[in-house]
């Protein structure tokens, strides 16, 4: 018959604490990787980053919003395709002069709302891209 000693109980507790700590590190790393990937997904490849503004709001709902702007020499059609198809924004919703607006809003599980709007403008110096992305977490 095996009798547990205080030493073996202590090893078991330390092992469980280590396992929980390791799990917390893995989950934290995965969460950070997801946030960084989500944050950078709308950056047009090869475009010159012009500016950014990020807003965090905690009440009454958690909201994270990022507004960015870029300048690219890529053809208008390529930029349009990247955002329209890559983010499921569909066709332009509004046009004004040399600018078009594409946007989409989705809700997942009734509580996570994702909004994205892209304004694409043709200018003499290239294509200006203005992107607004927001995530909103609603409490039930």
Q: What's 60's DSSP letter?
A: S
Lowest mean pLDDT segment, chosen from 8-22, 25-39, 111-125: 25-39
- Residue 89 has a pLDDT of 86
pLDDT at 4: 61
Per-residue CA distances from 91 to 13, 77, 117, 119, 126 (Å): 58, 12, 12, 12, 21
* Percent of the chain whose pLDDT exceeds 70: 95
In this structure, the answer to whether residues 59 and 110 fall within a common structural domain is yes
Asked whether residue 92 falls in the same domain as residue 50, the answer is: yes
Select the more confidently predicted residue: 29 or 92: 29
**CATH number of the structural domain spanning residue 83:** 3.30.310
Per the structure, the count of domains in the chain is 2
> Are 85 and 36 within one domain?
no
32 and 54 in a single domain? The answer is no
Question: In 3D, which of 50, 35, 107, 118 has the Cα closest to residue 82?
Answer: 118
Q: What is the pLDDT of residue 3?
A: 59
| pTM reported for the whole predicted model | 0.73
pLDDT per position as a tens digit, 42-73 = 889 989 999 999 888 888 888 889 999 999 99
| Domain region containing 10 | 1-40
Do 63 and 30 share a structural domain? no
Q: How far apart are CA 101 and CA 113, in angstroms?
A: 20
């Amino acid at each position: 018959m095996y009798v547990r000693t205080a030493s073996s109980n202590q090893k078991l507790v330390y092992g469980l604490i280590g396992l929980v700590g390791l799990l917390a590190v893995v989950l934290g790393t995965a969460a950070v990787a997801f946030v960084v990937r989500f944050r950078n997904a709308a950056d047009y490849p090869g475009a010159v980053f012009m500016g950014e503004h990020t807003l965090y709001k905690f009440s009454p709902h958690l909201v994270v919003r990022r507004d960015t702007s870029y300048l690219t020499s890529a053809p208008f059609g390529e930029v349009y395709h990247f955002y329209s198809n890559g983010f499921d924004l569909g066709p332009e919703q509004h046009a004004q002069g040399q600018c078009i607006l594409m946007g989409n809003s989705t809700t997942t599980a009734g509580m996570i709302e994702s909004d994205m709007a892209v304004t694409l403008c043709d200018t003499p110096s290239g294509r200006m891209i203005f992107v607004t992305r927001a995530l909103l977490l609603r409490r039930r």
